[in-house]
């Protein structure tokens, strides 16, 4: 997730607890979606769509934080 921003993600996970919490939450949702997609876990279509919307919102928020960090003066 957000692998092209690996350095920024690492720095923000260390220095920003809010970012770290959001990143962990997004990672957990990714894992849950993957389990559903490989049929290791069952869920209705509505649940899958809800998870995907949550994941997208979290990734948008994380990306905004990454870009703000990247563009801030050192």
What are the tens digits of pLDDT across the range 9-66? 999 999 999 999 999 999 999 999 999 888 877 778 898 999 999 999 999 999 999 9
Q: Which residue has the tokens 């997730």?
A: 1
Boundaries of domain holding 60: 3-71
What's the rounded Cα separation, in Å, for the pair 44 and 42?
Answer: 7
Q: Shortest CA distance to 11 belongs to which of 64, 66, 51, 56?
A: 66
Q: Decide if pLDDT at 1 tops 80.
A: no
Confidence of residue 74 (pLDDT cuts 50, 70, 90): low
- Say what the pTM is: 0.86
Give the pLDDT of residue 40.
78
Place of tokens 């923000």: 12
The total number of structural domains that make up the chain = 1
């Amino acid at each position: 997730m957000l692998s092209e921003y690996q350095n920024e993600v690492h720095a923000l996970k260390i220095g920003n607890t809010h970012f770290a919490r959001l990143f962990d939450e997004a990672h957990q949702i990714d894992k849950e979606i993957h389990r559903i997609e490989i049929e290791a876990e069952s869920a209705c279509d509505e649940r899958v769509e809800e998870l995907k919307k949550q994941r997208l919102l979290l990734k948008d928020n994380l990306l905004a934080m990454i870009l703000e960090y990247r563009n801030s003066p050192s």
